[in-house]
């Protein structure tokens, strides 16, 4: 079967022919419908995130059950499923609470999940190590559902942690309206009455935010002007929540500057920015958070929102063979919403 593989940092993803895997005891084989192309893959390909290749990329996957390993019950061939991506040990405190994203044994597992150390979904078929990583999609289109497992789940987790602050009189700022950000603004609209401000350096992404119903959009290339505009919207209280889906120094600095007291700065992007601390800066009472992905329970909640029509991933689809070109487009900011590779 065709697959897109990470080999080593600094080397482009390679398109290869590899044997179709067979499910061992407890495993499930999926026929892939779609694999989302996350910016984290660019961090893996271009920087060193400490993952050892080769492995098949793609950590945002959905498809259909193709074969069941020995002992797997309750699923049948053809069931449409999303893959819960963060694969933990299954038995530590976090995993028992369904938060495998915070598994305490990740270091010793040698993988963060399929496409993140183990073979992922940018292929015709994918092995899922345990049926507990499958979530039923029922009538949802698996191509549109693939991004729900990360591009929507990650902001959902960050937003859920911040919900007590997202009251009708609060302002929330979303920075970076790409794959994660375009889902974040929809999730905020579905879940909270807070005033929403979207920031990006790309006018096309700001136009996308407006198309999604966001009325306050800001070009953050001029940080002073952006900070002033946010202050004018939020008033003396400042932003109650900033969700930073870039995490670069410029965006972290902007976040620190615009949050008010008793607030939350959630840095989701892996852009390498550093939050400096001095007295009252970030302001007193600000919680700085570095959320990672989300829990399996939260994925069920995200899928429920999508099934109810409250959120919808916007996808551009490409064949597997175009993976290198798609990664280049993502690097250059030329993807609207999420790119999904369709075998």
Q: Under the rule (CB under 6 A), what is the footprint of ligand NAD?
A: 38-40, 43, 150, 154, 175-181, 199-202, 205, 220, 245-248, 250-251, 268-271, 291-293, 330, 333
Distance CA 245, CA 170 (A): 20
Interface with Zn ion (CB under 5 A), residue from 92, 140, 233, 300: 92
Q: Binding to Zn ion (CB under 5 A): which residues in 17-76?
A: 38, 40
**Residue 95 partner contact from ligand NAD, Zn ion, none using kind-dependent CB cut-offs of 5 to 8 Å:** Zn ion
CB 191, min distance to Zn ion, A: 21
CB 88, min distance to Zn ion, A: 4
Q: Which residue has the tokens 């375009």?
A: 182
Asked if 233 interacts with Zn ion (CB under 5 A), we say no
Closer Cβ to ligand NAD, 124 or 207, answer by number: 207
Asked if 95 interacts with Zn ion (CB under 5 A), we say yes
Asked if 1 interacts with Zn ion (CB under 5 A), we say no
**Nearest Cα to 54, choosing from 9, 107, 20?**
9
**Residue 288 partner contact from Zn ion, ligand NAD, none using kind-dependent CB cut-offs of 5 to 8 Å:** none
H helix runs in the chain, sequence order: 39-46, 93-96, 106-109, 142-145, 153-162, 179-191, 203-211, 223-234, 249-258, 296-307, 323-331
Residue 61 φ then ψ, to 5°: -125, 145
Adjacent-strand bridge partners of 289: 266
CB 76, min distance to ligand NAD, A: 31
Residue 161 φ then ψ, to 5°: -65, -30
Judge whether 48 and 9 are in contact, CB under 8 Å: yes
**Residue 69 partner contact from ligand NAD, Zn ion, none using kind-dependent CB cut-offs of 5 to 8 Å:** none
Asked if 109 interacts with Zn ion (CB under 5 A), we say no
Strands 2-6 and 55-56: antiparallel
Interface with Zn ion (CB under 5 A), residue from 86, 88, 115, 142: 88
Interaction mask 137-176, Zn ion, x per CB under 5 A: -------------x--------------------------
Distance CA 161, CA 239 (A): 16
Segment contacting Zn ion by CB under 5 A, of 88-96, 220-228, 273-281, 284-292: 88-96
Distance CA 8, CA 64 (A): 30
Q: Which two tokens stand for residue 267?
A: 């840095």
Asked if 254 interacts with Zn ion (CB under 5 A), we say no
Distance CA 30, CA 79 (A): 9
Residues lying near Zn ion in the complex (CB under 5 A): 38, 40, 88-89, 92, 95, 103, 105, 150
């Amino acid at each position: 079967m065709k697959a897109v593989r990470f080999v080593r940092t600094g080397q482009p993803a390679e398109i290869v022919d590899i044997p179709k895997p067979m499910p061992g005891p407890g495993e499930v084989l999926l026929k892939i419908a779609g694999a989302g192309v996350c910016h984290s893959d660019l961090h893996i390909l271009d920087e060193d995130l400490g993952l050892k290749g080769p492995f098949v990329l793609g950590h945002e996957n959905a498809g259909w059950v193709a074969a069941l390993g020995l002992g797997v019950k309750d699923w049948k061939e053809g069931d449409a499923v999303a893959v819960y991506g963060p694969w933990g040990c299954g038995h530590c405190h976090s995993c028992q609470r369904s938060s495998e994203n915070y598994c305490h044994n990740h270091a010793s597992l040698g993988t963060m999940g399929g496409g993140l150390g183990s073979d992922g979904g940018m292929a015709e078929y994918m092995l899922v190590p345990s049926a507990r990583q499958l979530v039923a999609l029922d009538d949802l289109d698996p191509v549109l559902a693939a991004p729900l497992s990360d591009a929507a789940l990650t902001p959902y987790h960050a937003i859920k942690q911040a919900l007590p602050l997202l009251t009708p009189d609060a302002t929330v700022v979303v920075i970076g309206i790409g794959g994660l950000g375009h889902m974040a603004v929809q999730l905020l609209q579905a879940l909270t009455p807070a005033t929403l401000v979207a920031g990006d350096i790309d006018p096309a992404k700001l136009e996308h935010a407006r198309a999604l119903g966001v009325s306050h959009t800001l070009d953050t290339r001029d940080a002073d002007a952006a900070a002033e505009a946010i202050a004018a919207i939020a008033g003396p209280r400042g932003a109650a929540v900033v969700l930073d889906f870039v995490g670069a120094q410029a965006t972290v600095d902007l976040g620190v500057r615009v949050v008010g007291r008793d607030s939350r700065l959630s840095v989701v992007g892996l852009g390498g920015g550093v939050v400096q601390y001095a007295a009252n800066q970030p302001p007193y009472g600000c919680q700085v958070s570095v959320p990672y992905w989300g829990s399996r329970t939260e994925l069920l909640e995200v899928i429920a929102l999508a099934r109810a029509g409250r959120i919808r991933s916007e996808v551009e689809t490409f064949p597997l063979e175009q993976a290198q070109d798609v990664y280049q487009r993502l690097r250059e900011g030329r993807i609207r919403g999420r790119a999904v590779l369709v075998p």
